[in-house]
Amino acid sequence: MALISAPPSVSLSKIIPYIKGKSSRKRLQEFEHLRKRYWGQYLWARGYFAVTVGNVNAEDVQKYLANYVDI
């Protein structure tokens, strides 16, 4: 789970594929067993879940995620 911040002018549908692509590339370079297993396939699932928060500061959201979200 990640907490990201982006300006309203940037679409979430543009941000998520970018993050998935960069993190996938990094993981496949770092872990050879993943590279062999996922050769020619996608590392991440196609979908994603996102939720927005308003009128709450980032520190409070981070505390909530750290204490109450079990991943």
pTM, full prediction = 0.62
At 2-48, the pLDDT tens digits run 778 888 899 888 998 898 888 888 888 888 888 777 777 777 888 88
Residue 45 located in a structural domain: yes
Mean pLDDT of all residues in 55-65: 84
Question: pLDDT at residue 71 above 70?
Answer: no
Residue 48 located in a structural domain: yes
Residue 46 located in a structural domain: yes
Mean pLDDT of all residues in 43-65: 82
Structure-derived torsion over alpha carbons of residues 21, 24, 28, 30, reported in degrees to the nearest 10: 110
Residue 6 located in a structural domain: no
Q: How far apart are CA 16 and CA 49, in angstroms?
A: 10
Residue 32 located in a structural domain: yes
Active site residues: 64
Mean pLDDT of all residues in 42-59: 80
DSSP the chain: -------TTS-HHHHHHHHHHHHHHHHHHH-HHHHHHTTTS-SS-S--------SS-HHHHHHHHHHH---
Instruction: Give the structural domain span for 45.
Output: 12-68
**Total domains present in the chain:** 1
